[in-house]
Chain A
Amino acid sequence: MIRPVLVRRDRVLPATQSLGFVVGILVALVLGAILLWVSDNSPAEVYERMFDSAFMGTDSLSRTLERTTPLALTGLSVAVAGSMGLWNIGAEGQMMAGAIVATGVAMMADGLSGPLLIAVMLASGVAGGMLLMLGPALARSHLGVSEIITTLMLVYVAIRVVEWLQVGPWKDPGSLGFPRIEEVPDQASLPGLFGRVNIGALIALGLLIVFSLAVSRTAWGYELRLAGSSPDTARYAGVSLRRKVLTALLLSGGIAGLAGTIQLTGTEVRLTPGLSNGFGFSGIIVAALALMRPSGVAVVAFVFGAVQVGGQSIQTLGVSSAISDILQAMILFGALVAAVFFNYRIRWTGPVGESSGEELEEPDIAVEGA
């Protein structure tokens, strides 16, 4: 029987990858047009509205950037862990942990002036994210416990903690019995840049640049990638794996915590159980599409943000939320599939005797070498 096997391409140029990204999205748009037509919507009208509300005009662009900021930070969070082969599935929870600690600090220190309070809150948000990651990081580095499970489980713990805080100790007495936490002080709002964009976008951009350089250009980053791709070599070269795992995961948690704090002080007014709003989970897709490279995260986050903003807006044309969700998923899926095919090629393996021995050595699993 003839079977397809995916084989990693030897060398993939960044230009080829970007092309793959674009082709994937175009194919998805074509398929999406069919979906829209079948569901009695006008593809031209819908795509025009998507494009307009994501890009044209100041408010549109600012909406897309408003979403890009948390997506870029959670994408970076996942990518930092991902550069050494670790999976932080719990950025969603670390966002909450960051926002919880930052809210607590704001309650205690609301007499501080704006800039100082903001700085303290952002720092405590990073600490909060790291704190939630501490357990999974230690369990992974010292006991070998999979961080995928532990980080994911803690997401729900963090959200439940917020639910408890808002009915219990942090319930706002001024909310007429409704369980809500008090608004963060006015002076803690992040200064705006334009439209809906605040300086959180600049912080995200700065961090992306720092981490791109750190991962690709420094000895630290080299060791990180080496430890991920070949632990034995790294150990032979004198790299402490434990320390590397610990640093990568804690940084990952801290960045997600910062993302949560920027949401808290930038776009929201108070801590709620829905504050993380799925951004932490979306960050996994962003990082995967960026092939775990911090340098790619910014672009992917921007496109992802645009797809979300555009996809949501078409409901005003009468497109149902289900169709809008499917359309958004198709576009992202198209990009993901294209990324796979631009990095791997298909080789057809035949039955014994018909193929060369070399091909038979290919393992059975669909994707190898990642």
Chain B
Amino acid sequence: MAKKFLLKLLVVLAALTLIAVGCGNDDDAAPAPAPTQAPTEAPALEPTEAPEPEPTEAPMDDGVIAAFVFVGPVGDAGWTWAHNEGRRFAESQTGATTHFAEDIPEDGPDFRNIVVDFIENEDADVIFATSFGYMDAMEELAGEYPDVVFEHASGYKMNEDNFGNFFGRMYQPRYLSGMAAGALTEANQIGYVAAFAIPEVLRGINAFTLGAQRVNPDVEVHVTWTLTWFDPAVEGDSAAALLEAGADVIAMHQDSTAPGLAAQDAGARWVSYNSDMSAFAPDAFITAPVWNWGPYYARIIDAVASGTYAPGAYWGGMDDGIVALAPLAADVPADVAAEIDEVAAQLIDGSWDVFTGEIRDQDGNVVVAAGETMEDGPMLGMEFFVEGVVGSATG
């Protein structure tokens, strides 16, 4: 790969030298009209053998073409990276052909255009869109292309035929990661770098805080809002500010590794998110609540292939494996690690869930009575902070 690239680079440099040494009075001799050859692509209906591109190790090509639209770059190591890993997993599992586009803004015409391109030019059968802001456009497109399946992560809209949404109970591993963080903070102050004040993020902060309080009742979680999902500079600065203010552990609901780098620089600790980011700040890393989208993607692609797809509002938990906890750092106390395993087992067998009372909000009002467990509806629309969180739940 790298070798091939270097070779090509060398050829280009040699060519440029030749041009420079030669006369160089002619600009547009070569490629403009382009040496044809491309348009012969055989479209779909020929599932036997992929023409030649891409070393697809097709176990049993089911002929489905799936296209993914990502809001960030696949190299973010976070949210989009995790989705892209899911795409690759689903491709190897199902033998489907997959395409993706990255860095597509939520607003403006880009999202719509790229989806239409995938459908019209690449014959996509199913579109996976992985950011909340795509929701309105997905709904509209699902109406325009009734034969294509639309699956939207993190939204709440759907229809009866070809438009579903999916998400995971990230609050479960968040709670577990809070337990580990609560055990390791010495200042009893944890800084939480958070993107936007939406229910998903509030739910995560609350779950994390409840987990930390379980092992350390004195802990406080200080929240700052960055108003961006992916902006390493802002994320890093926010973490640095929280550390400056006295926190010795940083947690985050962000897509980059920047908060971890800030924590490591300050000699503090870090709970990452989205994926196991231990490699980026090994001294700081404690653990991470992580996404595992692959099996869900594979399931949807299989359903599309077999014609059994029916849209739903999927909200899977640790029992389904779509969310999980990354390995714990070695210095998490053994008794806490054992308790984490115990709670994880309860979350998986369904005998207990995170938002079980008694839970009070920031103002001391009881929001979940003792012995009761919050229903999905209120959880999905969560708008408050639990006691122990310092910050504003409205951003």
Contact = CB atoms under 8 A, between A and B. Distances in A.
A178 B132 contact: yes
A179 B395 contact: yes
A11 B391 CA distance: 63
Contacts of A312: 104, 110, 113-114
B374 to A, nearest CB: 14
B113 A321 contact: no
Most buried by A among B9, B31, B35, B227: B31
Given A38-B12, A176-B199, A196-B109, A30 B32 contact: yes
Given A44-B35, A316-B101, A59 B133 contact: no
A45 B38 contact: yes
A104 interface: no
B394 interface: yes
A203 B34 CA distance: 38
A26 interface: yes
B199 A44 contact: no
Interface residues of B, number: 52
B113 A309 contact: yes
B34 A66 contact: no
Given A43-B31, A321-B102, A274 B107 contact: yes
Given A44-B34, A178-B132, A315-B102, A167 B113 contact: no
Contacts of A275: 107-108
Given A26-B27, A27-B28, A44-B38, A316 B105 contact: no
Interface of B: 4-5, 8-9, 12, 27-28, 30-32, 34-39, 67, 73, 99-110, 113-114, 116-118, 121-122, 132-133, 136, 156, 196-199, 227, 380-383, 394-395
B204 to A, nearest CB: 14
B109 A179 contact: no
Given A179-B196, A313-B114, A167 B395 contact: yes
Given A40-B5, A315-B114, 10 more contacts: A23-B28, A26-B27, A38-B9, A40-B4, A48-B38, A163-B395, A196-B109, A268-B107, A316-B117, A321-B102
A178 B198 contact: yes
Interface string A49-60: 100010000010
Contacts of A163: 227, 395
A18 to B, nearest CB: 16
Interface in A14-31: 23, 26-27, 29-30
A127 B394 CA distance: 30
Contact of A313 (B117, B156, B394): B117
A342 interface: no
A267 B9 contact: no
29 contacts: A33-B30, A33-B31, A33-B34, A37-B8, A44-B38, A48-B39, A49-B121, A53-B113, A67-B109, A163-B227, A167-B394, A176-B381, A177-B199, A179-B197, A196-B109, A267-B109, A312-B104, A313-B117, A313-B121, A315-B101, A315-B114, A316-B67, A316-B101, A316-B114, A316-B118, A316-B122, A320-B102, A321-B101, A321-B102
Contact of B99 (A30, A279, A318): A318
